Amino acid sequence: MAKAESQILNQSAQKPLAWKRYTHDVFSICNINNDEVTQFIEQANSHHLTTKFTAEVSDTETTFFDKNVYKGERFAQQSRLDIKTHFKATKRFQYTDFSSCHPPVVKKGLQHSDS
């Protein structure tokens, strides 16, 4: 993937300001319009038959893993993005109790609390 990624970026007329990849997820910041972003994605998708990119494009915020990256108050003053924890809508904060009937392998990382 690193080789293909380098080739795609080198062949692109428009270079992202930032391009960070973790496994198969990419966080990128660009200073181009949405049409140019679409062209970049199409070019990237034509690079290899089985490697395809999708994009969530926003002018103000995006979610990358469990973080919301957004333009907050600091962006207007210092050109700095802000980050806050992202919780999926299905997140219920329910945990397996150590004394439950689950097999020991499931509870291996859990700590027993008497309180």
**Domain regions of the chain by residue span:** 1-57, 58-115
What is the structure's pLDDT at 2?
A: 85
pLDDT of residue 79: 92
Residue 44's nearest CA partner among 59, 58, 55 is 55
Residue 72, pLDDT score: 93
Predicted TM-score (pTM) of the model is: 0.64
Q: Is residue 38 a contact partner of residue 47, using CB atoms and an 8 Å limit?
A: no
Which stretches of 51-97 are assigned E, i.e. beta strand? 61-64, 67-70, 82-85
Q: Contacts by 4-10 with C-beta closer than 8 Å and gap 24+?
A: 4/47, 4/48, 4/51, 7/47, 8/43, 8/44, 8/47
Predicted local distance difference test score (pLDDT) of residue 78: 96
Single out the residue of 15, 18, 40 nearest to residue 27, CA to CA: 18
Residues of the chain with pLDDT under 70: 96, 109-115
Report pLDDT digits (tens) over 32-64. 988 999 899 999 999 988 888 888 889 999 998
pLDDT on residue 113: 53
